[in-house]
Amino acid sequence: MSIDLRISGGIVVTPSGPVAADLLVDDGRVAGIVGADVAAPADRTIDATGRLVLPGMVDVHVHTREPGYEHKDDILTTSQQAAAGGVTTMFGMPNLNPPTVDVTTLRDVFDRYTASSIVDWNHNPAPTKFDDIVPMAEMGICAYKIYMVVDTGRTYPHPAGTGIHDHGHLLQIMDRIATTGKRFIVHPHDQALMDYIEGEVLARGENTPQGYASAYAAREGVIWDTAIDVVLRLAEASGCPVHIAHIQTRRSIDAVRRAKAAGVDVTCEVNHWAPFLSTWHDVETLGPYALSYWVPDDNRAAVWEGMRDGTIDIASSDHAPHTREEKEIGWTEMWSAHTGTPGIQYYYELMLDAVNRGELTLERAVDMVARIPAEKFGLAGVKGSLEVGADADVVIADPAHEWTITNDDVLSKIGWTPYDGRTISARIERTLVRGREVYADGVVVGKPGDGKLAAARAEGPAAHAAVAAGSAAEGN
């Protein structure tokens, strides 16, 4: 009997740290982590000498744009970018047309992933139809998503059915979600404060990238901080596990730190732009293409500190592609531009580059992109970790490969990245989903429909027997 695959000679990053070992894969799962001397006949071997062997990224915040906005991206193109970027599981977001708010729209989106995605997937619907909250949980989702945003005069990017700002309504929904055990992702936003602050900026005629950037960061981030304080208090009051999207201010990071210490079940995420693309210089030079948000320097320092000390649990991309036309108008009318930036294709590599620059340890970076999102979103033992019995979602990366990101490499329909021209020091070479290659040597080789719903396994992760010499993660 032979196993399917042996990835030999690399540094395998396991839950207990990096180890020089061979990774054995059989039947789509990790079958062993063994020394080079351990015999295990394999149908195929990949030589990973000098390479990192990493768990695939579990990206819980991805805007696939399908259905409704396929001119920006669709599930297939998003999953192709995911494969190239080492993302083996992606969770979509509900701000689609129609928005994902009930069993019917969720089933339609599931069908679309089933047909098109080349990486594993799940989807975060909005819990705005009360009677659909529990039935959607039973369909296999891992989380819900809400925007504390009520746009005035815009139907995009926060269409009706995806926003709730009323605190009583939020608590009612959180009470119901708490019965499902799923996590509640919240885009924090204080609409009333924003109305006042935006009004002041626009009255001064500052409908520019700089004006927009300043408005969202105004008064040291008051629109974020007040909303996050509310969410943390409601999480405590309801027992509903919450996940805060887009963390970026010093005070809110401190608030999350305190809430965790007090036992509140809260996680939070940092999106690619906060550590890597949010300086005033980026706003000045890239304008609408950099927004997302401006993160003032003292807040960015707090973001890095939160990433290092674990207050910020998770790195997720908030991949949010928009066409050049949708961005260009922002130079003179930023409030009419679509905001958000594409990020799924390069985030893992930017994190590995940050490791090389000494900003983060390798273990911490891998925890943020893979192990912790899997664990906190109900996929422990299945996704996000190279351990025996887990899905063989594997990224092989060269940690010492200097290269320059360019628009030519972009697999998104929009054809641009805010990182065009940036030189980084690590490169993903291969991505495997459940032991099958979806990306190899610069080419996406996965096929539409290869991806499957990422859900907790009924039988538990330990039921799949280890083969060969079994686990030897402590090995050499």
Q: Which residues bind Zn ion (CB under 5 A)?
A: 318
CA atoms of 151 and 195, how far apart (whole Å):
10
Cβ proximity to Zn ion: between 412 and 471 the closer is 412
Compute the least distance from the CB of residue 407 to Zn ion, in Å.
Answer: 22
Q: What residue is closest to Zn ion based on CB? A: 318
Compute the least distance from the CB of residue 466 to Zn ion, in Å.
Answer: 39
Cβ proximity to Zn ion: between 65 and 112 the closer is 65
Compute the least distance from the CB of residue 245 to Zn ion, in Å.
Answer: 6
Cβ proximity to Zn ion: between 120 and 269 the closer is 269
Interhelix angle 103-116/75-84, nearest 10 degrees: 60
Cβ proximity to Zn ion: between 190 and 318 the closer is 318
Compute the least distance from the CB of residue 187 to Zn ion, in Å.
Answer: 7
Compute the least distance from the CB of residue 316 to Zn ion, in Å.
Answer: 9
Alpha helices in 310-436 (DSSP H): 324-328, 347-356, 362-366, 372-376
Q: Which helix (H) or strand (E) holds 430?
A: strand 427-433
Cβ proximity to Zn ion: between 14 and 316 the closer is 316
Compute the least distance from the CB of residue 113 to Zn ion, in Å.
Answer: 18
Cβ proximity to Zn ion: between 51 and 61 the closer is 61
Alpha helices in 191-249 (DSSP H): 191-203, 209-216, 218-238
Q: At CB < 8 A and 24+ separation, what contacts does 360-366 make? A: 360/307, 360/308, 362/13, 362/18, 362/52, 363/13, 363/17, 363/18, 364/307, 364/308, 364/310, 365/315, 366/13, 366/54, 366/55
Tokens of 342: 């594409």
Cβ proximity to Zn ion: between 63 and 257 the closer is 63
Question: Where does residue 117 fall: left (phi above 0), alpha (psi -120 to 50 degrees), or beta otherwise?
Answer: beta
Compute the least distance from the CB of residue 33 to Zn ion, in Å.
Answer: 35
CA atoms of 350 and 309, how far apart (whole Å):
19
Write b or e for each residue in 426-449: b if 16 or more Cβ atoms lie within 10 A of its Cβ, otherwise e: bbbbbbbbbbbbbbbeeebebeee
Q: What is the DSSP letter of 463?
A: G
